[in-house]
Amino acid sequence: MMRLLFVFFMVHTIFIPCFSFDTPGKDLPLTLDYYKSTCPTVFDVIKKEMECIVKEDPRNAAIIIRLHFHDCFVQGCDGSVLLDETETLQGEKKASPNINSLKGYKIVDRIKNIIESECPGVVSCADLLTIGARDATILVGGPYWDVPVGREDSKTASYELATTNLPTPEEGLISIIAKFYSQGLSVEDMVALIGAHTIGKAQCRNFRSRIYGDFQVTSALNPVSETYLASLREICPASSGEGDSNVTAIDNVTPNLFDNSIYHTLLRGEGLLNSDQEMYTSLFGIQTRRIVSKYAEDPVAFFEQFSKSMVKMGNILNSESLADGEVRRNCRFVNT
């Protein structure tokens, strides 16, 4: 049975919940001390580099979390999203959900090079990304959780699964729920994990249909919402192709702080992405509406579930990599 240990510690005058979960070793080949003898400094190295990277640009926190999410939803958490295209391998980077969305590959390269200099051929890119996502969350005010490690890197990637498995910003609620269920993630996991959008940004191409669609309906013609909508339309013109790459914060209240503000945004009907707002206003959202309201009211409940769900998502493994995986020396290429 999963046990929860709950404490508080302070980072930059923000109280951060710290969660620790028991992970049954008989069910998963992952452990908390996997690198204890082979690379004992790995967690410290990643933490130190992530501190520098997020200090350089707070948006880097969201970038690393998103990379981890997109990795785990395709073949499990196996680093396949990091592979470059070659003559013999079609990568996932050019798949439609990734090509205009994912960044951070150079960040991974930077950390990997340091780890390789200290512990060559030991720490997988998949583990690096999983640990980095946890540290990124903490550095912008989110919760701590223990990260089980021991993943291996895949020797393959799947353009097809990247195209079909990943939720899209304009997708309906039922379809998104189905995609999370297919990964072994519940509705509660889904609503909690989407809470990471509280520090994310979105491109115009991904919210145009929302702000020229039902935004005014969901926000009930609120005068404050009308002002917000007008500012969004300045960023994102109605014509397709015009300003497609313009970006704005998904959470316009506390865009650089990991908190529960995104759920308040949904309660106001001001969700920037259709896929987010659907969780509160969809006719099929009886369960999701209740969960959104709970997290808006109780940030500790959100942090607790987010921590559990990140561990659960991080435990989605690639059976092929477990049997025939490797530790890549360069995260962009399979070892030769």
Determine whether the annotation assigns residue 71 to a binding site. Answer: yes
CA dist 273 and 61 (Å) reads 19
The reply to whether 68 belongs to the active site is no
Give the domain 41-166+314-324 fold: Peroxidase; domain 1 (1.10.520)
pLDDT 10s digits, 209-240? 999 999 999 998 788 899 999 999 999 999 98
Q: Per the residue annotation, which of 12, 68, 70, 264 is the catalytic one?
A: 70
Q: 279: which 2 tokens?
A: 């969780």
Structural domain boundaries in the chain: 41-166+314-324, 184-312
pLDDT 10s digits, 124-133? 999 999 999 9
CA dist 330 and 328 (Å) reads 5
Determine whether the annotation assigns residue 198 to a binding site. Answer: yes
Those residues with Cβ within 8 angstroms of residue 294's Cβ, 6 or more apart along the chain or in another chain: 301, 302
Domains 41-166+314-324 and 184-312 share a fold: no
Q: 226: which 2 tokens?
A: 């009308």
- Which residue, 154, 131, 132, is CA-closest to 34? 131
Determine whether the annotation assigns residue 140 to a binding site. Answer: no
CA dist 306 and 189 (Å) reads 7
Give the domain 184-312 fold: Peroxidase; domain 2 (1.10.420)
Element (H, E) at 16: strand 14-21
Q: Is the pLDDT of residue 11 over 50?
A: no
* Burial readout 22-50 (b: 16 or more C-beta within 10 A, e: otherwise): ebeeeeeebebebbeeebeebbebbeebb
In this prediction, residue 322 carries a pLDDT of 76
Determine whether the annotation assigns residue 80 to a binding site. Answer: yes
Determine whether the annotation assigns residue 54 to a binding site. Answer: no
- Which residue, 152, 177, 179, 134, is CA-closest to 306? 134
Q: 46: which 2 tokens?
A: 């990643």
